[in-house]
């Protein structure tokens, strides 16, 4: 219990998503209709090579945002973070900048022997094991991607020629504590894959009512212990995510 001399905060919140947007001098008119959000900077570098006339919006800490066009439609690209906390920052910026659609392209570990390294997983929901989303929603909140956009993403992913799986994704902050107790609990809740960001990415998008989806390349298999981070199959799948995201935009724009 606070003592009688303890100072109390009277502001509603110290820092908002709009504050962040103002800090990086970003305006809604500066972003595209679509935002494609990879995790690492290397994946962002590959993405902007396929966007026409990309202009750097800002570079802040380790995040860099570009906006250009694809088939005449505005597209923003940003390395959205590898972990829940930094993903929350970039997702807040994108939502406050009023992008219309959010597309996450990332990686995941398989939670079933039937999903192999180098295949793809599209999130149909999330098991929230991260430490950020509880500050946005209560325990009973059902984190889900936009259903219509997910169906369109599935069609775009099929053209890659890679096996495409669907199911819930368990997001955890503790990558080195994926013990059988935690893994089996996530599986019991319907998770078929594990990552570190999909739950917070989709949760924040939902709170802003912005359609969002998450598609992931399988880098390892938790059930078998197989690590595929240096596997060529994983790198091929990871590389396919950019084309899938762009094909989704193409299909939505009927071009």
Residue pLDDT, tens place only, 94-143: 999 999 999 999 999 999 999 999 999 999 999 999 999 999 999 999 99
* Interior angle at CA 187, CA 121 and CA 153, nearest 5: 20
Contact call for residues 193 and 164 (beta carbons, < 8 A): no
Closest CA to 199 of 92, 43, 88: 88
DSSP 9: -
pTM over 0.85: yes
Domain boundaries of the chain, sorted by first residue: 17-252
Tokens of 184: 């089996």
SS3 141: coil
Helices (H) and strands (E) in the chain, counts: 7, 10
**Calpha distance 227→36 (Å, rounded):** 27
- The mean pLDDT of 208-218, rounded to a whole number, is 98
Give residue 1's pLDDT band: very low, low, confident or very high (50, 70, 90): low
Average pLDDT of span 197-221: 97
17-252: CATH topology: Rossmann fold (3.40.50)
């Amino acid at each position: 219990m606070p003592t009688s001399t303890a100072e109390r905060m009277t502001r509603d919140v110290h820092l908002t998503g709009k504050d962040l947007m103002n800090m990086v001098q970003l305006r809604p008119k500066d972003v595209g209709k679509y935002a494609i959000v990879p995790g690492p900077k290397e994946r962002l570098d590959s993405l902007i090579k396929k966007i026409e006339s990309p202009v750097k919006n800002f570079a802040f800490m380790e995040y860099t945002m570009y906006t250009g066009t694809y088939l005449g439609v505005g597209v923003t690209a940003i390395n959205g973070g590898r972990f829940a906390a930094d993903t929350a920052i970039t997702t807040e910026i994108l939502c406050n900048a009023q992008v219309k659609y959010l597309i996450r392209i990332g990686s995941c570990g398989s939670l079933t022997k039937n999903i192999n390294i180098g295949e793809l997983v599209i999130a149909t929901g999330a098991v929230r094991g991260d430490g950020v989303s509880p500050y946005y929603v209560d325990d009973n909140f059902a984190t889900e991607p936009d259903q219509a956009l997910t169906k369109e993403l599935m069609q775009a992913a099929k053209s890659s020629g890679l096996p495409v799986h669907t199911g819930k994704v368990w997001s955890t902050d503790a990558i080195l504590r994926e013990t059988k107790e935690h893994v089996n609990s996530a599986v019991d809740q319907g998770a078929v894959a594990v990552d570190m960001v999909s739950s917070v990415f989709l949760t924040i998008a939902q709170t802003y009512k912005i359609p969002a989806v998450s598609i992931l390349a399988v880098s390892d298999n938790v059930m078998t212990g197989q690590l595929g981070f240096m596997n060529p199959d994983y790198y091929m799948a990871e590389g396919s995510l950019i084309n899938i995201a762009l094909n989704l935009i193409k299909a939505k724009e009927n071009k």
